[in-house]
């Protein structure tokens, strides 16, 4: 699934990476504990989290994750946005909660990465 479809399905705002919404993802990892994400890196995965500080972007970068969806109306801080831009990581934000976000993506065939 292309990130542009994820954006539309989840009614996301694009915080960084508008030019990279054609990236394909096939897996999602939903976690607020970044150690969980690092335990099983998954290229072509989407990170779904409510954790908005810079550590979420660092973790995505180390785990080779191309995009993050921040849930529950949470917005990353300026440092996280700046790092995402420099690392070319797409940041999206939705008002949906984590449960609904995961359910919508699962219904569309996205596999869980856990």
In 3D space, the residue among 48, 41, 30, 84 whose CA is nearest the CA of residue 64 turns out to be: 41
What confidence category does residue 21 fall into, taking pLDDT thresholds of 50, 70 and 90? very high
Task: Give the residue-averaged pLDDT of 83-87.
Answer: 96
Question: Tens digits of per-residue pLDDT, 42-71?
Answer: 677 899 999 898 999 999 998 889 999 999
Residue 41: the pLDDT is 59
CATH topology of domain 3-112: 3.40.1390
- Please identify which residue in the block is written with the tokens 């399905």: 9
Q: Reduced to 3 states, what is the DSSP secondary structure of residue 26?
A: coil
| Residue whose entry in the numeric block shows the structure tokens 């999602």 | 28
User: What's the Rg (C-alpha) of the chain?
Assistant: 12
Tokens 């960084």 sit at which residue? 16
The first and second tokens of residue 17, run together, are 């990476």
């Amino acid at each position: 699934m292309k990130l542009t479809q994820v954006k539309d399905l989840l009614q996301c705002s694009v915080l960084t990476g508008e030019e990279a919404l054609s990236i394909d993802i096939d897996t999602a990892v939903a976690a607020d504990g970044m150690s969980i994400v690092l335990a099983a890196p998954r290229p072509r995965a989407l990170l779904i989290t409510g954790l908005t500080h810079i550590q979420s972007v660092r973790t995505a970068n180390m785990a080779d994750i191309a995009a993050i969806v921040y849930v529950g109306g949470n917005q990353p801080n300026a440092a996280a946005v700046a790092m995402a831009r420099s690392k070319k990581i797409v940041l999206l934000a939705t008002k949906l909660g984590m449960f609904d976000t995961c359910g919508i993506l699962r219904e569309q065939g996205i596999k869980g990465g856990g």
